[in-house]
């Protein structure tokens, strides 16, 4: 029973488990979690493309749009710029009198110009690009940090890794594994590797698809400039952060799945722990998965200026460590948790009667 033999056992267990993790009915909601943001980004892309095709046929020159001044009437604007792409009129009661509102939109080939008339006079003029690549990247950063790291990967790993041991307990099949001539640590390693492979494939795949969906509606020039600039490094950083989050959360939930019968307890404690990370002293911050993973994220997420100060403090990432330190720190944390899990699995006793 030498090391290569044990490694072969680990590989065999991982291969057997992989099929169960990837193709079981319980895995569908994990796929859903991973792919949902990509679907929303694709929806955004379709919306932008439709608007682009609608606007392209009615482009107005920039000079004409620049000549429109506050105080102009809708008729004079239409006379100069032609029929707008969008034209809405409504009345609104303000201070006991009806105020006539009208909103018109023009397109100059790149930007949208929104004109808002009140009582027949131009009250405001706003220019905004049909698609803002920089803004989209910030939104993606926000989706990655708030949705993927804090929710999708968290709950996805909870489902995948807790299921590895606790699921077998519920299916009353764990004793088959324990009867096999393999050490329990080998079984643990095999199951962890299977869960890890599945979670990394699902979530990095989801992040990559989401990234592609984010870039899809952007102009060719913007996309090319991004790919020649920081684009590949950003993509690599996001994928690495997602993979590291799977490694970290996976180890924690695998250990929790063996030690505790109810996954709510570790889920709530960890959610709370990760949530209050910003308040914790420096030494305790290092015991959080999010602390290391956020350090790898290349773009800071956008923060809602109107959010309450407490919420802003909770959502603001704490002072991040250097990327290499973050990766090593997380791997060390994972090794520590897996070592504790390997100690626990040796003493694990099956009591199917207590499960249902």
Residues of this chain that interact with other proteins (CB under 8 A) are 26, 33, 36-37, 40-41, 43-44, 47, 139, 142-143, 146-147, 150-152, 155, 158-159, 162-163, 166, 170, 261-265, 267-268, 271, 302, 355-356
Q: What is the 3-state secondary structure (H, E, C) of 284-338?
A: HHCCCHHHHHHHHCCCCCCCCCCCCHHHHHHHCCCCCCCHHHHHHHHHHHHHHHH
Nearer Cβ to other proteins (37/250): 37
Give me the least distance between CB of 268 and other proteins, in Å please: 6
Nearer Cβ to other proteins (319/355): 355
Give me the least distance between CB of 44 and other proteins, in Å please: 5
Which are the contacts of 337, defined by CB distance < 8 A and separation ≥ 6? 251, 252, 255
d(C-alpha 348, C-alpha 308), whole Å: 46
Which are the contacts of 153, defined by CB distance < 8 A and separation ≥ 6? 199, 203, 242, 245, 246, 249
Give me the least distance between CB of 353 and other proteins, in Å please: 11
Q: How far is CA 157 from the centre of its chain?
A: 14
Nearer Cβ to other proteins (283/310): 310
Nearer Cβ to other proteins (132/223): 132
Distance, first Cα to last Cα, the chain: 37
d(C-alpha 275, C-alpha 127), whole Å: 38
Torsion of CA 30, 31, 35, 39, to 10 degrees: -110
Give me the least distance between CB of 33 and other proteins, in Å please: 7
Nearer Cβ to other proteins (190/266): 266
Give me the least distance between CB of 167 and other proteins, in Å please: 8
- Hey, which residues does 124 pair with through a beta bridge? 116
Give me the least distance between CB of 300 and other proteins, in Å please: 14
Nearer Cβ to other proteins (17/72): 17
Give me the least distance between CB of 82 and other proteins, in Å please: 27
Give me the least distance between CB of 43 and other proteins, in Å please: 6
Torsion of CA 162, 13, 153, 32, to 10 degrees: -100
Nearer Cβ to other proteins (8/261): 261
Q: Are 144 and 239 in contact (CB under 8 A)?
A: no
Structure tokens belonging to residue 209: 């698809």
Nearer Cβ to other proteins (180/272): 272
């Amino acid at each position: 029973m030498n090391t290569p033999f044990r490694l072969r056992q680990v590989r065999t267990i991982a291969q057997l488990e992989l099929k169960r993790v990837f193709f079981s009915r319980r895995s569908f909601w994990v796929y859903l979690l991973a792919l949902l943001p990509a679907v929303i980004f694709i929806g955004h892309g379709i919306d932008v493309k439709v608007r682009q095709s609608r606007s392209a046929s009615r482009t107005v020159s920039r000079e004409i749009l620049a000549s429109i001044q506050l105080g102009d009437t809708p008729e004079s604007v239409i006379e100069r710029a032609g029929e707008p792409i969008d034209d809405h009129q409504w009345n609104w009661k303000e201070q006991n009198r009806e105020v006539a509102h009208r909103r018109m939109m023009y397109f100059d080939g790149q930007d949208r110009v929104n004109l808002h008339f009140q009582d027949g006079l131009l009250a405001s003029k706003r220019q905004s690009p049909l698609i803002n690549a920089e803004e989209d990247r910030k939104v993606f950063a926000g989706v990655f940090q708030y949705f993927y790291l804090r929710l999708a990967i968290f709950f996805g790993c909870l489902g995948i890794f807790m299921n590895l041991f606790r699921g077998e307990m519920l299916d009353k099949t764990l004793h088959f594994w324990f009867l096999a001539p393999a050490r329990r640590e080998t079984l643990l390693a095999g199951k962890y590797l299977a869960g890890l492979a599945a979670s990394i494939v699902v979530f990095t795949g989801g992040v990559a698809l989401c990234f592609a969906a984010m870039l899809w509606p952007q102009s060719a020039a913007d996309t090319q400039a991004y790919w020649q600039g920081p684009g590949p490094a950003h993509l690599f950083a996001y994928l690495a952060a997602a993979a590291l989050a799977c490694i970290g959360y996976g180890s924690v939930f695998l250990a929790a799945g063996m030690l505790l019968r109810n996954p709510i307890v570790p889920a709530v404690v960890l959610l709370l722990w990760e949530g209050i990370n910003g308040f914790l002293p420096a030494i305790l911050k290092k015991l959080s998965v999010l602390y290391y993973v956020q350090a790898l994220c290349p773009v800071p997420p956008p923060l809602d200026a109107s959010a309450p100060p407490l919420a802003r403090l909770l959502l603001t990432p704490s002072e991040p460590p250097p990327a290499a330190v973050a990766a090593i720190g997380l791997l060390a944390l994972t090794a520590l948790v897996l070592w504790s899990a390997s100690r626990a699995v040796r003493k694990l006793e099956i009591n199917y009667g207590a499960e249902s």
